[in-house]
Amino acid sequence: MRNSLIALGLASAMVQSALAYDGLVQKQSFDYPGPFTTVSGATIRQVKVGYESLGKLDAAGSNAILIPHFFSGSSHFAGRYKADDKAPGYWDGLVGPGKALDTDKYFLISVDTLCNINTKDGITVTTGPASTDPDTGKPYAMHFPEVQIHDFVTVQKALLDKLGVKKLHAVMGASMGSLQSYEWAATYPAMVERLIAVIPAAQIDAYGIERVRHWGDIVKLDPNWKQGDYYGGPEPIDGLIMAFKVLSLDTLAPEWGDASFGRKWADPAKDPAKAWDNQYAVEAAADAAATARAKATDADNLICLERANELFTVGGKDSLEEGLKAIKAKTLLLPSHNDHLLFPEATRHVRDLLQAQGTPVEYHELDGPMGHVNGVVGMGQAAGIVQKFLTE
């Protein structure tokens, strides 16, 4: 997400750099102990994921805040890897001493998911279709076992156990990160004290299933995909480019286009009405951003990751009401008012169900022209709400 259409002239929507976390972060890696068994019963012999952390875990192991990441993100939630990095982690403005995610008070940690699409960036650490199958010495490709959101949580729990985390002061995630956050609260209710679900979904409904399935289906139309066995040859870049254009537009609201581009031409000398290949500014920018994003993405990982999103139901229950019953954590819901991907109406329904079962819940809508993306680039507006929620 951070590298797709968000990059198209949206710097003004980011939290001011003067407020940013002033520090470097390091990617670390975690090897899951022994073979990993997925929720569906398949076995993955070796699982390795990356993680990043800030702050220190207290002696009781109870001041940790887990920050699961969104679909196209990684564990890079704050800081920079090098002083001259162009962009910090996606929630950088919330992080640091005295801020909402106070590094003097909390141990902040985020983990790269299985099947992370950023496996080609040289930094993200993940196990998925692009990983080498130890039984064959070749990439798994689409033979990689199907994984679900619950599997991501299982890997994270093993890492937290190794680090000595006994309690989670909070779990806080945006979009796919909210799916993981809900799953944490439902699976480990005695461990999770607070749940912050940003641009969230507690279940992917029929409409959402079809929306996210489009992203993977578009990639499969590229003849270079070859049923996923493209490793060592031409990759399905054209399919990925189109998938990212669709994905990015799915996450944005109409207000974004008017605010960022209007009907400006890409080239002031080339009227789109005069030739079919003369573009509007929004078209040229979308093409450039999607092309850059596609070149950094593994196609099979994207397909497997969108499948994990399709399959999600909180607590593994087909009934949303039944799945939510396990959640006891004090909950803060932060949907975006103009989200056209994960609609705020659905989150209001979750709020009502949580209230009815006696779970403490707060609800606030994020503002801004960015639709779903308000929960990534526009989170500065919720800093005070988050800080208050974490300290009460």
Determine the length of the chain: 392
Q: Is the pTM of this model over 0.75?
A: yes
Q: What is the pLDDT of residue 2?
A: 35
The encoded tokens of residue 126 equal 């993940």
Q: What is the mean pLDDT of the chain?
A: 94
Q: Which of 159-163, 255-259, 280-284 has the lowest mean pLDDT?
A: 255-259
392 burial class (0-12, 13-18, 19+ CB within 10 angstroms)?
Answer: exposed
pLDDT per position as a tens digit, 84-108: 999 999 999 999 999 999 999 999 9
6: pLDDT confidence band, cut at 50, 70 and 90? very low
Catalytic residue (choose from 175, 181, 260, 336): 175
Q: Is 104 a known active-site residue?
A: no
pLDDT tens digits along 364-374? 999 999 999 99
Q: 351: part of which helix (H) or strand (E)?
A: helix 344-356
Residue 390 · residue 170 · CB < 8 Å = yes
Query: Is 143 assigned a catalytic role?
Result: no
Q: 5-203+308-391 belongs to which CATH class?
A: alpha beta
**Section 167-185 average pLDDT:** 98
- According to the model, what pLDDT value does residue 19 have? 58
**40 a catalytic residue:** no
Mean pLDDT on 214-225: 97
Query: What are the pLDDT digits (tens) for 52-76?
Result: 999 999 999 999 999 999 999 999 9
CB distance 55 to 105 below 8 Å? yes
Confidence band, pLDDT 50/70/90 cuts, at residue 21: confident
**18 or 97: which carries more pLDDT confidence?**
97
Q: According to the model, what pLDDT value does residue 13 have?
A: 37
